[in-house]
Amino acid sequence: MLGSSLTRKANVRVLAATNRDLRQTAQDGRFREDLFYRLNVFPIELPPLRDRCDDIPMLAWAFARKFAQKMGRALRPLSVECVGRLKDYRWPGNVRELENVMERAVITARDGCVDLELALPESTHATASGLPVRCDEPFSFRTAQEMEALERSNLILALEAFNWRVAGENGAANRLGMNPSTLTSRMKALGIQRPR
């Protein structure tokens, strides 16, 4: 009796995402046209977050609740001022940037009110009047644990901005206004390590 072998054809589905116009790129000869047509079975266009302002409050609150739960903190709903500031921002980093901003806002929250002063990039800190719009109550304080979390978050932001370079003219320590040895010491104390 002769043995027989069965061959199976594998079905592979590919999900691809890009911020480029692949049709134009293929027509310009900078992307394989046959590959474009293989990938272009069912295109889904998702506009950038800045073009979906009505989604921002819902997404921001979902992210805020996620991080508050993770950190064991209670939050009040986002104020009208906070929502307005979030909608006014351009969001070059799209939904991931919004997620990062809301994580920082929860870390720096006081009395259950998110604080966008430290969470949003510097360019959005002032209104047309030149005065910052506070999203929290007029007077509150932070606990030692909250201050430590705030310091840790701030140091990580600085290190990421300078590609984890600590010393030198283009190092995070210089921008933070501290000695490199001080920054290294604080990184150890706060358990900050460069991601691998």
pLDDT digits 0-9 by tens, 103-152: 999 988 888 888 788 788 754 444 433 434 444 444 445 677 877 887 88
Same domain, 52 and 37: no
Q: Return the pLDDT at 147.
A: 78
Compute CA distances 75 → 55, 134, 161, 180, whole Å.
Answer: 20, 16, 29, 36
| Mean pLDDT computed over every residue of the chain | 81
Does the pLDDT value for residue 80 go beyond 60? yes
In tens, the pLDDT along 33-44 reads 998 888 888 888
Residues in CB range of 175: below 8 A, 6 or more apart: 158, 161, 162
Q: Hey, what amino acid is at 71?
A: M
Residues 168 and 150 occupy one common structural domain = yes
Residue 8 is predicted with a pLDDT of: 66
Report the domain count for the chain: 3
The answer to the question of residue 52 being in a domain is: yes
- Please check whether residues 60 and 114 belong to one and the same domain: yes
What pLDDT is stored for residue 6 in this prediction? 57
The pTM assigned to this predicted structure is 0.53
